[in-house]
Amino acid sequence: MQSTMSYTARFDENNQEIVLAGSIRPKGADELAELRKTFDRAIQATRGTLYLNAKRLVQLNNAGFQEITNFVKSAGLQKPNLKITVITSSYVGWSLRKFSLLQKIGSNVTVEQYDKDFYPGQSVLEDSGFIPILRTQTKMTWRHERDLLPRHGLKPAMAVADICCGIGDFAALVYKEFQPSRLLAIDHSKPSLAYARKVASDFHIEGIEYVHGDAANLLVEDNEFDFVTCRHSLQVFDRPELILKELFRICKPGGRVYITNEKNSHCLGEPRADSIQWTYNEVARLWAHFKMDIELGPKSRRFLLDAGFDDVQVESFMVTNRDGDPQDFADVIASWEDVYAGQMAVQRGDTAEFIARFRQGFQDHISAALHPKGYAGWPIWAASARKPR
Ligand SMILES: C[S@@+](CC[C@H](N)C(=O)[O-])C[C@H]1O[C@@H](n2cnc3c(N)ncnc32)[C@H](O)[C@@H]1O
């Protein structure tokens, strides 16, 4: 039998957590010496609850599972009061079923499935109602990003990953423009991925791997990609630093991570600037209610430096009604109004009066975009940084 042993087992003393990742498929128990050492150290160093994080463990054969069973038994014998919590992932089909067997060993073992409840804003974003927003936005931003991406280090024939790819339109554009050697696009929304696959098939694009996954626990090896993108997405998480940690991990040393984010309260328009300003200040508050930070754009530099990157480059650009057909920008604003006023404000329980005023600002922004002498803008921060060698 072929042994497949590409796993890592790390004990994080601070979080009392053993993190397993990769594939544990040994030929015999002797190949598991390293794993056993990690388990022993963890049992010695832990009090209360020891977490066994198996979210990124993609394969496990019977010998590997037996070793984990022995570890749980041995923990129970050495420290009868120690609780063990195993965390599985919904992306690894067998994981919950298999690890649930450990609960038979004793009442000190619990098995949990990590799921979308971890992200407060996710219910809004995973809805297919979000698709029109993403479609119209990318159409507007690509004009700018096509030119600025090479300045941030994107070159042809690179291995590229687009994390939180949404409906995959950016990945498709990168594929056509930069011909990457590999292009992996991951998102947590099944409707968005279904849409992405359909567009790729309609456009006869066969080289993009669209994969369902969790940006905070990517089933991807360390140091795999030259260029990792994550657009308009750090701003949707309550803890963006967890996503950045993953972007850092999968990026090759010397490679770059590229992020774009907004500061929605800086959206502007003339005429009727005050009404427009009021509404976008309220958009920022509405997103904060769902624990998302649509004001993150100018904070990008700090986030990248705190995550361990160097050579940070930040630039901002303004999408406006002067970029091509003004109706395109009016469509973006109309899609925001639909979701922010029609769905999110309703979900928050806002009054009819508030929603009417909230909608008015979007309508005024649309009028500014379409007005023969009007001006309407949406500022975006594009930042990239290098993973140190
Ligand atoms: C604002 S959209 C941006 C999408 C795309 N990058 C774009 O610019 O069009 C945020 C995306 O993050 C995705 N997302 C949310 N939580 C996620 C998670 N835990 N893992 C992966 N994707 C997630 C949503 O499904 C959504 O497609």
pLDDT at 51 over 50: yes
CATH code of the domain occupying 122-386 = 3.40.50.150
Residue 273's pLDDT band (boundaries 50, 70, 90)?
Answer: very high
Q: State the distance from the centre of ligand 1 to the C-alpha of 164, rounded, in angstroms.
A: 4
196 lines ligand 1 (CB under 6 A): no
pLDDT at 87 over 50: yes
- Parallel/antiparallel/unpaired status of strands 375-386 and 268-270: antiparallel
- Under 8 Å between Cβ of 311 and 385: yes
Highest mean pLDDT of the ranges 53-57, 191-195, 307-311 = 307-311
Highest mean pLDDT of the ranges 41-55, 126-140, 144-158 = 144-158
Average pLDDT of every residue of the chain: 91
What pLDDT, on a 0 to 100 scale, did the predictor assign at position 121? Answer: 60
pLDDT at 42 over 50: yes
Bond before 379 cis per omega within 30 degrees: no
Question: Which of the residue ranges 25-34, 101-110, 229-238, 379-388 would you say has the lowest mean pLDDT?
Answer: 25-34
Kindly state the average pLDDT of the residues 138-152.
94
Residue 3's pLDDT band (boundaries 50, 70, 90)?
Answer: very low
- Under 8 Å between Cβ of 50 and 42: yes
Angstrom distance (rounded) from CA 109 to CA 100 = 9
165 lines ligand 1 (CB under 6 A): yes
Q: Give the 3-state secondary structure of residue 157.
A: coil
166 lines ligand 1 (CB under 6 A): yes
Instruction: For tokens 């209360």, name the residue.
Output: 48
277 lines ligand 1 (CB under 6 A): no
pLDDT at 155 over 80: yes
| C-alpha 321, offset from chain centre | 29
Please report, for residues 184, 213, 320, 325, the alpha-carbon distance to residue 269 in angstroms, rounded to integers and kept in the order given: 37, 38, 9, 16
All CATH 3.40.50.150 domain ranges of the chain, comma separated, are 122-386
Continuous segment of H or E residues that includes residue 274: helix 273-289
pLDDT at 66 over 80: yes
Neighbours of 363 (CB within 10 A): 17
What pLDDT, on a 0 to 100 scale, did the predictor assign at position 5? Answer: 58
Ligand 1 pocket test, pick from 164, 174, 217 with the greatest ligand atom count within 8 Å of Cβ, gives: 164
Residue 2's pLDDT band (boundaries 50, 70, 90)?
Answer: very low
Instruction: Report the CATH fold assignment for 4-114.
Output: Transcription Regulator spoIIAA (3.30.750)
pLDDT at 359 over 80: yes
Ligand 1 pocket test, pick from 115, 125, 378 with the greatest ligand atom count within 8 Å of Cβ, gives: 125
The pTM of this model reads 0.80
**What residue's CA is closest to ligand 1, atom 17?**
188
- Segment 69-85, tens digit of pLDDT: 999 899 988 999 999 99
All CATH 3.30.750.24 domain ranges of the chain, comma separated, are 4-114
| pLDDT above 90 as % of the chain | 65
What pLDDT, on a 0 to 100 scale, did the predictor assign at position 270? Answer: 98
Angstrom distance (rounded) from CA 40 to CA 43 = 5
Instruction: Supply φ then ψ for residue 120, to 5 degrees.
Output: -60, -35
